[in-house]
Each structure stands twice: as C-alpha cells, then as structure tokens.
Structure 1
Amino acid sequence: MIKINLLPHREAKRKELKSQFYSLMTLAGLFGAGIVILVGFVFSSQLSAQTERNAFITQENTELDKKIKEVANLKQEIDALKARQQAVEDLQGDRNQPVFMMNELVRLAPEGLYLTLIKQEGQRIAIKGYAQSHAVVGLFVTELNASEWMSKPEIIQNKAVGLGQGRDAKRVIEFDLNVGIRRPRELEAAASADAAGSTKKKSTDVKSP
C-alpha cells in the first residue's frame, strides 16, 4: 500500500534550518561578545598596569628631581664654603704682601732709579718715579717681568723732564707704570705646574730612543 505524506515538509524543513541558523547566529554573537569582553578586559588590565607604571615613573622622577635639587644646593653650599675659605686664606696671605712687595721692589730697582709713589689697588701696584735714562726704566720693567712675585708690568707714561733750576737743573726720565702682584697660592700653583711639566718632559725624554 502506497503512503503519501501530504504535510508541508518543505516548509517544516525550512523552518528547522532557519531555527538552526538563528541558533548559530545567536551562539556566534554570544561568542563574539565574549571575545570582545575578554579582549577589553585584557586591554583594560594592560592599560591599568601601564598607568601604574607611568605613575611610578612619574613619582620616581619627582623624587629624583628633588635629590638633584638637593645635590645642586649642596654643591652651591660647598662652593660658597670653598670661596669663603679661599677668601680667608687670601686675606691671611695678603697681610704679608706689602712686606714682600717692598722687599722685591728694593731688590729689583736698578741704580739711577728713584721712586716717588707706590700704591696698591687690589692686585695691581701703581709705581711712579724718576730715572736717569730710558734704559734704566726698561731695565726696571725687565726685572719686574722676571720676578716671581710680580706680573705683567705696564708702562703708562715715560717722558723726559727737567728737575731743579739753574745749575742744579737735571734732565731725567719721569715714568709711571703699574704691575700685578701674585698671591702665595698663585705662586704655589705655578710651581706645581712647572714641576708637572718637568716630570712630563723627563718621561718623554726617557721614552725617546
């Protein structure tokens, strides 16, 4: 006996496939939403961790800036202390400068030279006087330049003038110059530099074939 199915099986099949499609779409949507939520959670965690790292770095930089400022302030204080110490040492050394200066001028002044003024202003000395000739003035300048206590002599004026009247009148050279005077620490520094140069030169000579 032949059985004939008169039910709308095609529509039922279509509904079943549509239902399966919707189920798969819903499942895919849920899966995609889960992935999005998971990725968002991962990114949020990484962002939070990076924010914490940035905050930590900022805090450390702030602390480092404070320490650098403290070091800079400490360096300024040390420099100020060194400057005060140097000033005290210079004052102590400068007390003996007039003695050294007078002894040195007496030692360096050639015959035929007469000093009328010796005036110290800071580390420069103004010297005025008379000389028998320009050569005597030149010799005096040469001696000043060679002195370890004196430095950079400079002639301001050097001219011939007449002194006295009548038979006592004399033709002399009136000069005006200034010269620097070194501090003891400058002499020590120069001596150390010369010693270092001599040691280096000896070392070079030893290495030379």
Structure 2
Amino acid sequence: MTIEINLLPWREEQRQRRSKRFYVALVLVALVGLGGGYGATWYYDQQLVAQQERHRLIRDRIAQLDRDIRAVSDYEAQIATLKRRIGVFQRLQAERPQTVHVFNALAASLEEGVHYANLVRQGDRLRLTGLAEDNRRVSDQLRSLEASPVFDVPVLSEVESTGERRRFNLSVGQHMPAARKKEVAP
C-alpha cells in the first residue's frame, strides 16, 4: 500500500501564513517607524520651543541690563555734576575770607581824596576804577596799594580828567596768605 501525502496545500497555507506575518510585521515596522519619526519630530520641536524660550529670556535680561546701564550712566553724570557743584561751593566758601581780607586791605590802603567807583575781580586780578582830586592822589594811591602785603605792584592803565577830578583805571594782583592757600587747595 502506498500512502500518498499531498504537501502542497500545507505548503501553500504555510506560505500564506508567512506572507501574512511578513505583511503584519511590515505594517508594524512602518507604524513603529512613523511613531518614532513623529516622536523624534515632537522631541526636536520641544527642544526648539525650549531654546526659543531661553533666547527670549536672554533678550529680556539683556534689555534689563541695558536699562540698568543707562540708569547707572545717568547716575554717574548726576554725580559728576554734583561734584562740580560741590567743588564750586567749596571754592566759594574758601574764597569768602579772602574776599573780606581783600576788601579790608583795600579800605586800609585807601588814601584821602580817592574814591573807588568800580571793582571787578577776575581770578587773582582786581580792576579798579576810581576818582581822585588830582594826579598826586592817584600816585599816592598806587604807592599805598604797592605797600600793602595783600597786593602786587599796581598797573595804571588810564587817567582821565573830568573837570576838577581825575578818573583812573588800574589793575593789581592779589596774594593769598600762605595759611589761606592751604584751606582753598582742593
């Protein structure tokens, strides 16, 4: 007796099962690939959003620092202005005794018959305009100023006759005593 076994239908079924498994695996691999691609895209999108947020935060901080730098520059300008003003006030405060000293010396050196009409101070120089009864009184006044320890040698620039009086212009340098110079020095 011969037994005949037909393996063709079984092979055909096995081939169909393998094809079906292959297609299922292919679909699963495609789905995993699409899912992985979508996951990678989503991850990189999230990284991009986080990086953009960091950049925005850095730009905001830079803008704040720029505002702070401008404020500091404004404060420094105000400080410099206030220091200049304080320096002027200190110099004026130090010159107050000198001004009194100069006026006292002018009053002490004033000769009889001479009157000062105008006094202008420019740094350490005084420009005086005055009236005298005659030319001798003008020269006496010049000698009196020169003899004062507060003043340099006076320079007479003009003498003009106005009737019985003489109008004169002179300039003279002034000295600050050594003790006063130390007070004024910044």
Report how far residue 15 of structure 1 moved: 1.0
Deviations 1:129-156 (Å, cap 9, x if unpaired)?
xxxxxxxxxxxxxxxxxxxxxxxxxxxx
- 1:123–1:59 Cα change, 3 Å: farther
Residue 76 of structure 1 pairs with residue 102 of structure 2? no
Distance (whole Å) between structure 2 residues aligned to residue 96 and residue 51 of structure 1: 67
| Greater C-alpha Rg | 2
1:181 aligned counterpart, secondary structure: helix
- 1:55–1:122 Cα change, 3 Å: farther
* Percentage of identical aligned residues: 8
Q: Give 1:47's match in structure 2, choosing from 21, 38, 51.
A: 51
The residue that corresponds to 2:13 in the other structure is 9
- 1:56–1:62 Cα change, 3 Å: same
The residue that corresponds to 1:181 in the other structure is 179
The residue that corresponds to 2:112 in the other structure is none
Q: Give 2:62's match in structure 1, choosing from 58, 76, 81.
A: 58
Deviations 1:50-73 (Å, cap 9, x if unpaired)?
111111011111111110110000
Letter in 1 for 2:80: Q
Distance (whole Å) between structure 2 residues aligned to residue 90 and residue 84 of structure 1: 10
Q: Give 2:27's match in structure 1, choosing from 23, 27, 48.
A: 23
The residue that corresponds to 1:172 in the other structure is none
Distance (whole Å) between structure 1 residues aligned to residue 76 and residue 174 of structure 2: 32
Deviations 1:156-185 (Å, cap 9, x if unpaired)?
xxxxxxxxxxxxxxxxxxxxxxxx314696
Gaps of 5+ in 1: 101-115, 126-179, 187-209
How many residue pairs get aligned? The number is 116
Distance (whole Å) between structure 2 residues aligned to residue 93 and residue 3 of structure 1: 138
Report how far residue 122 of structure 1 moved: 8.9
Distance (whole Å) between structure 2 residues aligned to residue 123 and residue 60 of structure 1: 55
1:25 aligned counterpart, secondary structure: helix
Letter in 2 for 1:75: I
What is the RMSD of the two structures over their aligned residues, measured on CA atoms? Answer: 3.1
